[in-house]
Structure 1
């Protein structure tokens, strides 16, 4: 029986770090690639290397996803190209340290990339995949979505958005054959920290994962059907317990009267 081709994967942030590592792993899995990032020269070098190593077709699509015209072009490609069956939204950046005192323009750009662009491409892919009867969207978030007090407030908020968007769409689109996975890395050895002005050598080595290990674990989680993958979490039962506790809140999140613990007197009925 002939092997089924897994289709084309479009990867954002593909010139370095987690995005570049995803591209390498997916090419080795047999995917053709569309690599998206701002740096054309780095994309060209990555494409040449991956084509030589794997024999897969690798196309570059240079784009600044914070620029409306470039974002429109990538979204249009997702909508039109029926060969695309997998999207990995790995592009993102963020500052370190307290949010107060940071340059406002930096936070605007961060939201444009981490939130606006990711949502636009996720929805473009979701609509296309639902119409085609299948496809997979992987959104790279961060464990800081689960620990908001431990990192820059603006960055944490963008990653909480990624997790919530992915989980909500997974519930909506699962019956239509579209899979979504949120990947929540911890500290990963990439250019992220150097760009933010941090020194990874100051962080205990036991807390820093190599990008190759991260992506290998994330893809194993995808193969196992996980909707949320935390590559460093030893016991999956901890995440299941977290989710179960969240679900138990559901029946009491919207009621007609305040909880008795607030001792709010009932509102008198209007005659």
Structure 2
């Protein structure tokens, strides 16, 4: 890969992506809010691997910062991998969270990911193709109380990734929805949260990234690292799609007790 842009790259999964890609010889554009951490990581990766590392401090919930990163993507002709990793994952019951918290989660997890993908895709297609990895979550497929807005944003990420793949795979684009399980990060600002789980239940970001990139080479559009049989996911996804499709008639299901002749 020529150059990768990784959001949320100052720690956790984003930093692990940056380190792994640098070892593979990819130049990097690192985006995150914490300038000091970005500079420290960039200096280390330059010294260890010799790759070029560009640092862009940005809060993707801030429209001005977001537009600046979009412009960097659009004005360059060098990004062939975009890792949309930045995310906010505060967990609390819906009414116990401030509306501003909800808005910030949606801004980063949904709006920023969408706009950066939209900025990247045209240039990638023009250059013959590219890759976008979107970090989703197992909450995208669950209904855990306390994860309402976070889970909804990650459902959006998963669905968008599926549809973009269907639209653009024939134009040389590759997409992956990465679905981490318990992975040691600083999501929500509480690095100690994962200490309550047995160590063997928590994956390291480094292993997660290795699996993600291996999954990409296998052509998997969804990467669920702990799932032994990817066919299990494919069958479940196919069943959900089948239920969602309208049958070829306008008959209302009998359980609603309506006069079928009035269904039209």
Question: Which TM-score band applies after superposition, normalised by the shorter structure?
Answer: over 0.9
> Would you say the 8 A contact 1:7–1:31 is kept in 2?
yes
Deviations 1:90-142 (A, max 9, x none): 00011123222112211111111011101100111122212222110110011
- Once the 2 structures are TM-superposed, how far is the Cα of residue 67 of structure 1 from its aligned partner? 1.0
| Matched ranges for 1:1-271 at <5 A | 6-149=1-144, 151-192=146-187, 195-196=189-190, 199-252=193-246, 255-266=249-260, 268=262
- For structure 1, the residue ranges without an aligned partner over 5 or more in a row are 1-5
> Would you say the 8 A contact 2:250–2:263 is kept in 1?
no
The residue that corresponds to 1:3 in the other structure is none
Aligned residues: 264
Q: CA distance change for structure 1 residues 255 and 65 in 2, over 3 Å: closer, same or farther?
A: farther
Q: Bigger CA drift: 24-33 or 123-132?
A: 123-132
Q: CA distance change for structure 1 residues 150 and 238 in 2, over 3 Å: closer, same or farther?
A: farther
Distance in 1 (alpha carbons) for counterparts of 2:151 and 2:242: 24
- Once the 2 structures are TM-superposed, how far is the Cα of residue 244 of structure 1 from its aligned partner? 2.3
SS in 2 for 1:93: coil
> Would you say the 8 A contact 1:18–1:90 is kept in 2?
yes
Distance in 2 (alpha carbons) for counterparts of 1:126 and 1:260: 45
> Would you say the 8 A contact 1:21–1:215 is kept in 2?
yes
Q: CA distance change for structure 1 residues 204 and 97 in 2, over 3 Å: closer, same or farther?
A: farther
Distance in 2 (alpha carbons) for counterparts of 1:220 and 1:123: 25
State the superposition RMSD in angstroms: 1.9
> Would you say the 8 A contact 2:184–2:191 is kept in 1?
no
> Would you say the 8 A contact 2:141–2:155 is kept in 1?
yes
SS in 2 for 1:252: coil
Distance in 2 (alpha carbons) for counterparts of 1:257 and 1:201: 53
Distance in 2 (alpha carbons) for counterparts of 1:223 and 1:266: 50
> Would you say the 8 A contact 1:144–1:150 is kept in 2?
no
Q: CA distance change for structure 1 residues 110 and 25 in 2, over 3 Å: closer, same or farther?
A: same
Distance in 2 (alpha carbons) for counterparts of 1:116 and 1:171: 21
